[in-house]
Amino acid sequence: MTKRANGEGSVYQRKDGLWAAGLSYAGSDGQQKRRTLYGRTQREVVGKLRDARRRVEAGAPVQDARVTVGLYVEHWIGTTLAASDRKETTKVLYAGLARTHLVPAPLGAITLDRLKPSDVEALVYRKRQDGKASSTVRQVYTVLRAVLDTAVRDEPLARNPAAAVKRPAVEHHEARYLTPDEVRALVAAIAEDRLRVLFMLLLGTGLRRGEALAAGWDDLDLDGGHLRVRGPSPASAASCGSPPRRRRSPGGWCHSPGRSSQSFGRTGFGRSRSDFRRGRSGPSTGSSSAPSSARPSTRETPSGASRRPASGPG
C-alpha cells in the first residue's frame, strides 16, 4: 500500500475484513485531532476519506452531528433565537412554528448527519397536503433554514440542506371584509363580553390586534377624533397566543373623518379611565347599532397617505 503524506490519511483492512481510514487534522480550536472512518469496501472508505479531507479544507466538521433535528431545534430556540435582536413577537412566532412543525417526527426524528434536501422538500409537501396556508409553509421553511444556518455556523453541519431547496411561493388573495350584516351579528354576540370595547375599536378603525392592544391614553385625542397608532404591543403575542402581522408603516394616526369624540364614545372610549378599571365596557351611548363597516375610517401615516383598515376584528 502506498504511504500517504502526514495528515492525508491512511487506509487499511482490519482482521475482521472491515476497511478503515484514519485522518489527522487540526480542529477549530487549533488542537490536533484524529478521526477513523469505516466502510465495507476499500472503495467506500476511500470515498469517505476524500470527502472528509474536503470538509477539513473548507473549515467544516469532518462529520455532521448525529443529534436529531428536533433536539437541535429546541437548542436553537433557547440559544440563538433567544439571543437574537429579532422583535419579541417574531421570536414567539418562530418558536411556535418550530415546535409545531419542525420538532415532531418525521423531520424531528432525523439526525443532522442524515438530513437531505429531499427531507426539506418532503416537509414542504406534507404541510401543503395538510392544507396549511402558503404563507405558513413559507414561514416554516424560513425557520428551518435559519436553524440549519446556525448548525453550519456552529459546525454540526457542513452544508445547509434547506439552502438547496427553492423557497416556497406565497399565493396572494384579496382579504374578505365583513358585511354590514356580519358586523351587526358580531356586535350583538359581544354585547356582554368584557373585551367589547376592544372589538368595537377594531371594527371601527381597522387596527390590527397588536396595534389596538398597544394603544394607551396618551395616544387618544377625543376632541379631534384621533388615535395614534404606534405599532404592535410586545405583550400582544403572549396575551393572545400568536403575534400580529408585521406593520407596513412605522406608525401614524387613525382618524374618523367628520366625526368627533362621539365616534369613540360609541366604542366606549368616551368614558373615564376609572370606568375601564371597573370593567364597564358597555357602550356609553346605550346604542346597540354597529359601526358602519361600509364606511370605515381611514388610517393616515405621518406622511399623510391614507389606507383602508384591515377586515374585521383581528
Question: Which CATH homologous superfamily contains domain 69-164?
Answer: Tyrosine recombinase, N-terminal domain (1.10.150.130)
Residues 168-192 pLDDT 10s: 999 887 878 889 999 999 999 999 9
- The domain ranges of the chain are 10-57, 69-164, 180-307
Alpha helices in the chain (DSSP H): 42-57, 69-76, 82-83, 88-97, 117-129, 134-154, 180-189, 196-205, 209-214, 236-240, 261-265, 273-277
Mean pLDDT of 240-255: 45
Per-residue model confidence (pLDDT) at position 140: 98
Neighbours of 233 (CB within 10 A): 22
Percent of residues, the chain, with pLDDT higher than 70: 67
**Residue bearing the bigger pLDDT, 289 or 28:** 28
For 14-73, how does the pLDDT look when each residue is reduced to its tens digit (9 = 90+)? Answer: 888 889 988 887 766 677 878 788 888 999 889 888 888 887 787 666 666 678 999 999
Average pLDDT over residues 192-217: 87
Tell me the whole-structure pTM to 2 decimals.
0.53
Q: What are phi and psi of 19, to 5 degrees?
A: -90, 145
